[in-house]
């Protein structure tokens, strides 16, 4: 697949060819599902906690005699059936994260990229260099590329703090380093904006790990 490379003014400067083994495979939906599921699970805090019977403050004294009251027998005041008592089988802290095979994660990423390529939702730009964070300059670039009102994911080669800060206040826009790229981010946008140097990193990473 061959795509045009644009500058920050939205003008085409040259062409670049994408590797079909990364951007042109038959997508595997289940691999995408598992990788996105892991992304969500790994981001869960899992700090939920309810007070059970042993956690509630109160006396352990038996509150009434065992028999002869005409009501059900009861122990201490922390009984879950009483108001202010402990909760039965309440949530406890839990680690929701789980592991996935490395090749499966790579397949998921290639599948997501292939979906974007098939739907013509990839824009290649020249490497952007900004002297200082400037939201207005970032929006000028997005407007030139006709992406200002969309939900783009900008992928850079290495951490570009200046560009990231420039886009931070823009709703639905996100800038990530190629090393931080995830299947979730690819599927959660409607346009991939990839810097020219990041293309080579993506292809080299996914090709070498797919063998």
CATH class of 2-28+99-209: alpha beta
Q: What is the CA radius of gyration of the chain?
A: 27
β-strand pairing of 2-6 with 122-125: parallel
- Strand partners for 58: none
Q: Which residue has the tokens 């783009």?
A: 152
* Integer Cα distance of 77 and 57 in angstroms: 9
In the three-class reduction of DSSP (H, G, I as helix; E, B as strand; rest coil), residue 193 is classed as: strand
The answer to whether residues 47 and 113 touch, using CB atoms and an 8 Å cutoff, is: no
List the one residue out of 110, 162, 119, 114 whose CA is nearest residue 141.
Answer: 162
> pTM of the prediction?
0.82
Q: Give the pLDDT of the chain (211 residues) as one tens digit per residue.
A: 889 998 988 898 889 999 999 999 999 999 999 999 999 999 999 999 999 999 999 988 999 999 999 999 999 999 999 999 999 999 999 999 999 999 999 999 999 999 999 999 999 999 888 888 999 999 999 999 999 899 999 999 988 888 999 999 999 999 999 999 999 999 999 999 999 999 999 999 998 544 4
Q: What is the pLDDT of residues 134-190, one digit of tens each?
A: 999 999 999 999 998 999 999 999 888 889 999 999 999 999 999 999 999 999 999
What are the structural domain ranges in the chain? Answer: 2-28+99-209, 45-95
Strand order in the sheet with 152-156: 12-17, 2-6, 122-125, 191-195, 152-156, 174-177
């Amino acid at each position: 697949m061959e795509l045009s490379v644009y500058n920050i003014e939205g003008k085409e400067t040259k062409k670049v060819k994408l590797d079909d083994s990364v951007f042109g495979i038959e997508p595997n939906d289940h691999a995408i599902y598992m990788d996105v599921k892991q992304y969500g699970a790994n981001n869960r805090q899992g700090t939920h906690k309810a007070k059970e019977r042993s956690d509630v403050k109160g006396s352990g004294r038996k509150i009434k005699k065992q028999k002869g009251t005409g009501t059900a027998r009861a122990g201490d005041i922390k009984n879950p059936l009483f108001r202010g008592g402990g909760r039965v089988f309440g949530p406890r802290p839990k680690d929701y994260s789980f592991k996935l095979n490395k090749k499966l994660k790579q397949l998921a990423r290639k599948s997501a990229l292939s979906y974007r390529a098939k739907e013509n939702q990839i824009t290649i730009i020249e490497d952007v260099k900004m002297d200082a964070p400037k939201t207005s300059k970032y929006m000028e670039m997005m407007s030139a590329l006709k992406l200002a009102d969309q939900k783009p994911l900008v992928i850079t080669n290495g951490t570009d703090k200046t560009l990231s800060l420039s886009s931070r206040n823009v709703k639905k826009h996100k800038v990530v380093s190629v090393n931080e790229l995830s299947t979730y981010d690819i599927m959660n946008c409607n346009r991939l904006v990839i810097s020219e140097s990041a293309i080579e990193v993506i292809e080299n990473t996914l090709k070498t790990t797919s063998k």
